[in-house]
Amino acid sequence: MIYALGLATDGTLAHFADRAAADVTLVDLGELAADGAWRLALPDDGDSWLLAGDQRHDLRPGDGYYCRLADLSALEDDVVRRVRWRGLMAALTAWLDTVPGTVANRPGTAGDNGSKPLHEVTLARCGFTVPESLTSSDPGRLRAFAAAGPAIVKALSGVRADSRLVTPEEFDTFVPHQGPVHLQRYVAGSDVRAHVCGDAVHAEEAVSSAVDYRTAPPEDVTFRPHELPAALAAQLTACTRDLGLAFAGWDFKRDADGTYWCLEANPMPGYDWYDRRADGAITASLTDLLTGGPA
């Protein structure tokens, strides 16, 4: 049994539940937080369960859990519902971090992805080549970094945002209270996304004239399967484990010299877009991982 935990409106979660060749139970945390009930025992005593609507899900700690948890408490105007969201997230986080089954991913792992400067330090310590970056509220430093070579502005947190090139002139009227801003040296070349599921690696290359291929019109992006160098693939699987992750989406820029510049290790990748082009290979590997099937 695999439990898919998240929001029913999440396209990635729904994609996994639809495509997985296994018995998958999707539990909508929105419904559960609104008017459901739960019992999550620590340590588990064999009687942990979630009650959403008229569906009771008896959780077996040794099963597989695919998690795309989302804490929506900040969006709740009602105090009771806000407290319920926070209580549910705290209980699920503690329970999923301790159960013996395979969890993709345990909520307590890889927290530094939410802070891009810290995350880039982690990637460099893992041995990857990482572009130079600057996080600052100082207009002079930001202007100087942008003037030293092509630079892109990126989200400082883990919130998804598009990247774009910046010019030094953009910081002429910048004042410190508008910051901090995270700039990264732009690397020209193709984009490579690699999904790691245990020991399985699925990579795809995107070639586009756009700075951020995710925002480019379809006619301006060419996707093709990509074979990573064996040493890099081995490094990815090892580092994914070292980060405490079972499943991760790794982003690289590959320059004209063939150098792979590491941009990010995403602990909750929206992988369905890539999986459709890979004929479901990523879902198959993720399912095998969660069920103890072939590596």
pLDDT one digit per residue (tens) for the chain, 295 residues: 999 999 999 999 999 999 999 999 999 999 999 989 999 999 999 999 999 988 899 999 999 999 999 889 998 899 999 999 999 999 999 999 999 999 999 998 867 888 889 999 999 999 999 999 999 999 999 999 999 999 999 888 767 677 889 999 999 999 999 889 999 999 999 999 999 999 999 999 999 998 888 888 889 999 999 999 999 999 999 999 999 999 999 999 999 999 999 999 999 999 999 999 999 999 999 999 999 865 4
* Amino acid identity at 85: W
Q: Supply φ then ψ for residue 181, to 5 degrees.
A: -120, 140
DSSP state of 97: T
**Interatomic CA distance for residues 244 and 107, integer angstroms:** 10
SS3 134: strand
SS3 155: coil
Q: How far apart are the first and last CA of the chain?
A: 18
* Amino acid identity at 86: R
- pTM for this entry: 0.93
Continuous segment of H or E residues that includes residue 67: strand 64-67
**Interatomic CA distance for residues 135 and 138, integer angstroms:** 9
Q: Which residues of 195-213 are buried (b: 16+ CB within 10 A; e: fewer)?
A: bbbbbbbbbbbbebebeeb
**Interatomic CA distance for residues 115 and 155, integer angstroms:** 9
Nearest to 172 by CA among 148, 201, 140, 204: 140
Angle between helices 11-19 and 281-291 (to 10 degrees): 80
Please give the pLDDT value at position 136: 95
Torsion of Cα atoms, 65 then 70 then 76 then 82, to 10°? 50
**pLDDT tens-digit map of 155-202:** 887 676 778 899 999 999 999 998 899 999 999 999 999 999 999 999
Establish how many alpha carbons lie within 13 A of residue 23's alpha carbon, considering only the half-sphere containing its beta carbon: 2
The answer, yes or no, to whether the previous bond of 269 is cis (omega within 30 of 0) is no
What is the percent of the chain where pLDDT is above 70?
Answer: 98
CA distances from 164 to 87, 132, 147, 158, 214 (A): 38, 16, 15, 17, 11
Cα-only R_g, the chain: 21
Residue where the block lists tokens 């999986």:
275
**pLDDT tens-digit map of 13-49:** 999 999 999 999 999 999 999 989 999 999 999 999 9
Beta-sheet strand order (sheet of 164-166): 133-136, 181-185, 151-154, 164-166
